[in-house]
Chain A
Amino acid sequence: MIRADLCAFAIATAAAGTAHADRREASLHAHAVGGALTLGDARRDGTGLASGIAARASYATSNAFQYDAQLTLLAGRASFARASFMPAGRPPVSGSFTRSAQASRLDAGATLRLGVQWIPTLRVAAGAQLVRRGAPTVDLGAATADGEEATGVAATLDLNLVGIATVGLDYRVNRRLIVGAAAGVVQAVPGVGPTWRTLDVTLHAAYYWYPRW
């Protein structure tokens, strides 16, 4: 009885808050990314495919929201409609062409998580990326004109500001492992760097734990 009273006293002094399943959980994600790429050129936009990998770190402040930062590395190639190139000291060339692209993106965002075992997700994020566009490779029919010397257009390195939105579905395998898939769009802010847009699909696995700071 004495113990019961003491326990009741202790309960009464306990904080009002209660545990939250995802609150205070941190995670490290590994992503495989692939999708359709729209890449800007000086004259027009080209389309192609891009793929890459990403790593994300997150921390949840409630059962519904987790905040995260992601580093993405992408490589792709876009095809453009016919254009003319006038390399210095060489005859002009014209034809359809392609440009390779590599991007390194760092973004930060928030993910709305709507489940426990099966977890629908909605993520919005914003970030910046460095995009390297390779020199054009012009299709001349029987041959190609490749590189700055042949086309007069050099490879470029540009900065984009991007906005990101993805929807996905995660599955918690156990207390530590979550796997999932997502589809999303990444859109560069117009006027800051060349056009960049991807519609991509992501497969990922994530390790979750409770960090002690």
Chain B
Amino acid sequence: MHARRGRHAALQFMILAAFALVAAPALAQDSGQAKTILVDEGGSYEVLVHPDFVTILYLPDKLEKALGSDTTSYEVKPIGSTSLAIRPLKADAKPANLALATASIKVSVVLRVSQSRDAAMTQVTFKRADVEAELERRIAEKVKARTAELEARVAAMQQQMDAELPKLADGLIAARILQRRDLRKLDAIERNDANVVVETKDVLFLGDDAFITFDIENRNKAPYRLATVAMLDGTRDTAGVVRFTSDAAETAGAGVIGVVRPGGHGKGVVVVRRAADLVGKRLTLVVAEPGGKSKVVVDRIVLR
């Protein structure tokens, strides 16, 4: 039942959308009491007016002729060479028409007094449809060319970055090695009730940072999906970047860093920035599955 109603609504929407597409060339950029009318060569168009408003008609080029059918009920004044100001003189003025001719278009504007002030137009712009289309085509061409140019520049920049970043990384690593490079053993190990064992193996001090390696052995019968890794100093998490790899065939999904298959092993590294501040303190490595499940808390990790 709901599905049928949904299909019906979708069909209605498609029909309305189709009508809107058909009507689009004649009505473009409508907003409030202003509208634009695209004209091929000629045509008749209704414009709602009101005695409280002056309605301005903008034409695409110089006005050559303007003839009104009821000049007693409607005041029509040219404003410059390409626009007219119109205002009904009576609230009960009957519909009348205004024939306009320029070098490129000939239109008949049917003036009708609107019952509501809100429905009356204050500004109507006539544009040549073919000129507008040509303009749009040129804009599209320009945009396409500009986009292609920008894409090429981005690709070139990406190539340059791909070439430069390894050099930059090598330079940073080299500088840090000169600053400090120590590999120290760690011996913290713990398990959870689900037979998942986490052991910190060692810490690599590289410059100011520490790279702490840990192993996860999953002796459970279900895969262990590593979602979070925290290195706590008290309650403050000092963990930075985490990388993890394992022999699992399953790939890590959304929100999962890595997977350890049942009976399998995984290795990870957690980066601790400015590790000098943490030397001698008792840190706690906390790993968990999504939702904080199957948490393993390895405490008393002391960096030396």
Contacts and interface: CB of A to CB of B under 8 A. Distances in A.
B199 A19 contact: yes
Contacts of A3: 240-241, 271
Interface stretch (B20-28, B42-50, B63-71, B189-197): B189-197
Contacts of B199: 19
Contacts of B220: 116
B225 interface: no
A15 B183 CA distance: 10
B269 A11 contact: yes
Interface in A132-161: none
Nearest to B183: A13
Size category of the binding interface on chain A: 20 to 34
Interface centre among B209, B215, B265, B269 (most CB of A within 10 A): B269
Nearest to B218: A21
Interface in A1-59: 1-11, 13-15, 17-21, 24
Per DSSP, chain B at the interface is strand
B211 A116 contact: no
B195 A5 contact: no
B187 interface: yes
Given A10-B211, A19-B197, A175 B243 contact: no
B169 A6 contact: yes
B269 A210 contact: no
Contacts of A6: 169, 172-173, 206, 209, 211, 271
B211 to A, nearest CB: 4
Q: Is the interface of A mostly helix, strand, loop or mixed?
A: loop
B202 A19 contact: no
Given A19-B217, A24-B189, A174-B193, A14 B169 contact: no
Given A11-B243, A11-B269, A172 B173 contact: no
Contacts of B219: 21, 116
Contact of B169 (A5, A11, A15, A21): A5
A9 B173 contact: yes
B217 A21 contact: yes
B184 to A, nearest CB: 11
Given A18-B217, A117-B195, A10 B204 contact: yes
A116 B195 contact: yes
A10 B272 CA distance: 12
A14 B213 contact: yes
Contacts of A117: 195
B195 A7 contact: no
B121 interface: no
Interface string B143-169: 000000000000000000000011011
A21 B195 contact: yes
A5 B174 CA distance: 12
Interface string A181-213: 000000000000000000000000000001010
Contacts of A4: 241, 243
Nearest to A174: B193
Contacts of A11: 213, 243, 245, 267, 269
A88 B304 CA distance: 76
B198 interface: yes
Contacts of A15: 201-202, 213
Given A9-B173, A116-B219, A17 B193 contact: no
A19 B204 CA distance: 18
A19 B213 contact: no
B113 to A, nearest CB: 69
B279 to A, nearest CB: 18
* From A6, A172, A175, residue with most partner B Cβ within 10 Å: A6
A17 B217 CA distance: 11
17 contacts: A1-B169, A2-B172, A4-B241, A6-B173, A7-B243, A7-B269, A8-B243, A9-B206, A10-B213, A13-B183, A14-B267, A14-B269, A17-B215, A18-B267, A19-B215, A175-B192, A175-B193
Q: Which 6 A-B pairs rank lowest in CB-CB distance, beginning with the nearest?
A: A10-B211, A19-B199, A7-B243, A19-B215, A14-B213, A19-B217
Given A13-B183, A15-B202, A174-B193, 7 more contacts: A7-B211, A10-B271, A11-B213, A11-B243, A14-B267, A19-B215, A21-B197
Interface of A: 1-11, 13-15, 17-21, 24, 116-117, 172, 174-175, 210, 212
